[in-house]
Structure 1
Amino acid sequence: MKYVAKYVEENENISEPAEFSYAMRVIFRVVLVAFALYLALGIIVDVAVPYIPPAWEDSLAAPIMREVYASGQKSQKFDVVKIQQLLDSLAGLMEGVRRKFYITVIEKDETNALALPGGHIVVYSQLLEKVASENELAMILAHELGHFAARDHLRGLGRSFLFFIVANFALGGQGDSVRQFMNSSGILQNNYSRQQEFAADKYALEMLVKKYGHAGGATDFFKRLAEKEKLPQLVHYLSTHPASDRRVSALNQIVTDNSYAVYNTEPVNWSVGEKPDK
């Protein structure tokens, strides 16, 4: 008699639901461990950032600044020497921070300024076109110095900071991989928390009073922004900063609490030729 194997559609010795349940438990544990490591990495970075030597930070600047220059040309409309002198005078007022800061003006239709590793402050041309006094610009630059003082420019990279170090040294600080990393990690956006932004505003206001002896011009720039924040060209600024009306209110409260005087602002012309229309 010829033996014919019988096809068995089901095997009662194998429990598919049990296998599925086991697989789901494994996946859940892997995800849980990965999430825990992600959080731990964030804590490690947050704790370690204040102790990162300036030399290490400076080594990260070159690839980041290459990306800045790739995003737009250096502006020829503004006297960078004058702006650098203003920045230097403000940096000299910083307590516990002794390093050189560098100003770069990029031709770009964005109302924004960035604090980047290596002591670099990047200001977009559209922002300078909207600033009406030396005090206003000093407030903006001092705000970025406030981020440097708190090392927010490194904290802002969060967990991506360690990955950036790995990418920078593994790839020699060049290549499309570094560019893709910087784009994905938000280095050129500097997305700070609201708490960090308000703290930087407070720091800038105190520095403004140290330099000029009064708080004039501290809120002027933000007041004008508050009136125009629904305009499309300010969407990027709003995506990286708290609403301007809230910043004005917070700054006014600090002025009141500390009885700061408010006097006239200093006119300035940092443009090559005539000042651009606002």
Structure 2
Amino acid sequence: MNRPGGSAVYFDGMSNKRRAVTLGFADTMEINEDGQTLAAWAYADIRRADSPVGTLRLSCLTASPLARLELRDPAVAAELVSRCARLDEDLPGRRGVAAIVGWSLAATASIIAVVLFGVPLAADRLTPLVPEAFERRLGEVAEGQVKMLFGGKVCDHAAGQQAFAKLVNAIRESAGLDPSVQSGVLSTPIPNAFALPGGKVYLFDGLLAKAENADEIAGVLAHELGHLRNRDSLRGLIHDGGTSFLIGLLLGDVTGSGALIFTSRTLVTASYSRDAEQNADSFAIDAMHRLGRPAQPMGELMFRVTGKEGDSGLSIVSSHPLTEDRLARMSREDRPASGPPLLTPEEWRALKSICDPNPRP
């Protein structure tokens, strides 16, 4: 038996015409206009649609996707709701919200897994495939940014340069590194040292000011040369630059986002993985032992800097965490000096004054 319902507004989804209709409730819900049935919706196919307060807006799975029926009569709405057991099936109710939360958590876990495992794995696999010529070009761009950031002041006192070159070459030769390695001292009070892609190592005058002997500086330089040997700077750039760097790599872009990411990351946080730091430490310890010099002074310098400069965002503490543990390791693996000093007292004084425009003799 067809039970008459109240009035409603119907949009057939084919035009923007607004139709004033009446509803009939029988085996299906009939939508009538002027005695003519415009549509018949099965109750199982009727779904609730978004609607303002005070209006029940409905759609039908078998009707036009844009077809809508709007009810404002509470009695008619209650009658219809009582017949539509699946009215809210497609709405994000409890089960829907749970599904959304579940998928969101799964997506978050996937992102975390990619960041923690996928990106480092990709960086490790891709680093050996990057041509050295490209890495050198990248290092040149980063070097230009470094010099610009710190005023372009490369310390060039002749005697200090000779002492610095002697120290770097001694470490490089003991480690069997290519003579193309480039190095320099920048005039800035920041106590730090870092490696750039393509065989470039820079020492800040602020670290020289903290050092008490040549073995301390030699150990730090050996550590940075270890990063060069292992191409850690390039690996870190691939890791931190992600998609932007990889696209630049494919396009040969070393002057855009990749280089900018590298410079900011290296100078502001300069963080390597723990494995990379441990490997660079091992490289430095072995290099100092081959030179017959102790490795412990490097740890003492880093501990001295972190103890006094621990709050400085650009100090060596940023790139060399867990200094106490590393000092303990270098103390355990230390050996007494068996070789000659790396620099004479005069050379050490010249190196300490490399950034002084009027060094004392």
TM-score (norm 2): 0.61
Alignment match, 2:207: 127
Deviation, structure 1 residue 54: 1.9
**Do 1:111 and 1:234's aligned partners in 2 also have CA atoms closer than 8 Å?**
no
Give the aligned CA root-mean-square deviation in angstroms: 3.5
Deviation, structure 1 residue 51: 4.5
In structure 1, the residue corresponding to 2:135 is in which secondary structure? helix
Gaps of 5+ in 2: 9-70
Alignment match, 2:137: 59
For residues 108 and 310 of structure 2, the distance between their equivalents in structure 1, rounded to whole angstroms, comes to: 40
Distance 1:50 1:42, change over 3 A: same
For residues 106 and 88 of structure 1, the distance between their equivalents in structure 2, rounded to whole angstroms, comes to: 18
**Do 2:124 and 2:235's aligned partners in 1 also have CA atoms closer than 8 Å?**
yes
**Do 2:201 and 2:224's aligned partners in 1 also have CA atoms closer than 8 Å?**
yes
Deviation, structure 1 residue 169: 5.9
Alignment match, 1:91: 172
Relative to total residues, which structure has the larger strand share, 1 or 2?
A: 2
Amino acid aligned to 1:151? R
Amino acid aligned to 1:241? H
TM-score (norm 1): 0.77
For residues 226 and 37 of structure 1, the distance between their equivalents in structure 2, rounded to whole angstroms, comes to: 34
Task: State yes or no: 1:274 paired with 2:277.
Answer: no
Alignment match, 1:100: 180
Amino acid aligned to 2:174? L
In structure 2, the residue corresponding to 1:214 is in which secondary structure? coil
Task: State yes or no: 1:4 paired with 2:4.
Answer: no
* Total equivalences in the alignment: 267
Amino acid aligned to 1:14? D
Higher relative contact order (CA 8 A, sep 6+): 1
Map Cα deviations across residues 106-154 of structure 1 (whole Å, 9 max, x no partner): 2222111101101111211101222333333222211111122233223
**Do 1:142 and 1:207's aligned partners in 2 also have CA atoms closer than 8 Å?**
yes
Alignment match, 1:187: 266
| Larger deviation, residues 53-62 vs 218-227 | 218-227
Percent pairwise identity: 21
Task: State yes or no: 1:223 paired with 2:296.
Answer: no
Gaps of 5+ in 1: none
Map Cα deviations across residues 130-186 of structure 1 (whole Å, 9 max, x no partner): 2333333222211111122233223333523554242366584335x45653366x2
Map Cα deviations across residues 13-48 of structure 1 (whole Å, 9 max, x no partner): 123314434444554454455445443232122133
Distance 1:238 1:35, change over 3 A: closer
For residues 133 and 123 of structure 1, the distance between their equivalents in structure 2, rounded to whole angstroms, comes to: 15
Relative to total residues, which structure has the larger helix share, 1 or 2?
A: 1
